[in-house]
Amino acid sequence: MSSIKQTLNRFSQSTWDISYLRGAMIVIFFFFGYSKWFPYEAEGLFPLLSHSPILSWTLGAFGKLGASHALGVAEWTICTLMILGIWFPRLAVAGALGSLATFATTTTLIFSTPGAWEASAGGFPAMGGATGFLLKDIVLFGASLVLLKAGLKRVQRRE
């Protein structure tokens, strides 16, 4: 067997890709959660939250900065679950479910935020405003599905 084929075979049997993906998601949730504690982020979130049928209630309940803080707490909670999920598979599943909920919700902002599609370019599919930034959440939703599946497999092996 050639060394390339052996390397590819070892890779196909490994789980380092899942570990890398988990680590990347931990970094994303840590830094996005961190930014939620600052007024600049609360200001940037306001137009997204105020038009969201899912998240607009947070502004009335907590105010602009409080809503940002609440999202930061949620993101840091998911980050913590993912870290602990390294050792505890059930927490890995909980973190992945939280991640799925996060990115399902943020993807809806593409459809509820005014100016999501650039009118001067004919509207859809010309992205405007935060649409390009939010579009990446489709991939992060997929990454969350992969982590959920990996976590469920670990839970099943332990039972």
The C-alpha atoms of residue 145 and residue 136 are separated, in whole angstroms, by 15
pLDDT in tens, the chain (159 residues): 689 999 889 988 888 999 999 999 999 999 999 999 999 999 999 999 999 999 999 999 999 999 999 999 999 999 999 999 999 999 999 999 999 999 999 999 999 988 888 888 888 888 888 888 899 999 999 999 999 999 999 999 987
**CA 115/CA 117 separation, integer angstroms:** 5
Please tell me the pTM assigned to this model.
0.91
